[in-house]
Amino acid sequence: MKLLVSVRSVEEALLVADGGADFIDLKEPGRGALGGLPITTIREIVGALRRHGGGLDISATIGDVAMHEGGRIAACVEAVGACGVDYVKVGIERVPQARSVLDALASSGWPIVPVFIADKGLELADVAHACALGFAGVMADTFDKRAGSLFDAVRMDELRRFIVTARAAGTMVGLAGALRVAHEPLLRALAPDFAGFRTAVCVGDRSSALDPQRLRTLVALMHRHAAAESGAPNH
């Protein structure tokens, strides 16, 4: 299980890159669950990370865009994708328009990761539809971070079915949603390909500054268990 950490600036991105994360996700936590950064900021962060080296995958969100705004979703995907990120994350709400949005995203030509907003549970038929469309990956996340974590919103058996559905299609799968260090055993039991964090590595709430010590603690925990599971020595 790999570690994804969300950042909002060049400084945070370089801190996380040097801190041992496996994925770097670009978002503005002060603007919502999948709050989008300005396009100029995304370009700056991508440029700084590419120059920095390390080859870490970079994802970026398009912002919290409603499902009925198909034209706006397409325009935001185009703008974010053109910044040179490896993955473009798009929130998918549990609404009737979800499948038509997924169909449009699949034909966009960009490496899309649909992020299923799970506050009201997961619509596994929509997840299966997404996986059949050949997306780069899928995620489950929550919108209201104040209401608790992903594990407060979705039962373990439902999350397990979400992961099994993605795995059966050969699709990369991740979990996020106000995750904390204390959730690591639950994540390990589910074994997604990656888990996304922000709140757990911040001084205060998810909109506050990253804490290098909390980042080190999380990275050490995640990597220690990854090494144990692979049988590799833990240095």
pLDDT of residue 91: 97
Residue-level pLDDT at 225: 65
89 counts as catalytic: yes
pLDDT tens per residue across span 4-20: 999 999 999 999 999 99
Closest CA to 67 of 128, 7, 135, 126: 126
Question: Across the chain, what does the average pLDDT equal?
Answer: 93
CA distance 203 to 73: 32
Global pTM reads: 0.93
Distance CA 127, CA 2 (A): 21
What's residue 235's pLDDT? Answer: 45
Q: What is the pLDDT of residues 72-116, one digit of tens each?
A: 999 999 999 999 999 999 999 999 999 999 999 999 999 999 999
Over residues 128-142, mean pLDDT: 97
Which of 2, 27, 120, 145 does the annotation list as catalytic? Answer: 27
Mean pLDDT of 152-175: 97
Catalytic site includes residue 120: no
pLDDT over 90 (residue 31): no
Domains in the chain and their CATH numbers?
2-220 (3.20.20.380)
233: pLDDT strictly greater than 90: no
Instruction: Give the rounded percent of residues in the chain with a pLDDT score beyond 90.
Output: 86
Query: Could you give the CA distance from residue 3 to residue 111 in angstroms, rounded to a whole number?
Result: 19
Span 171-192, average pLDDT:
96
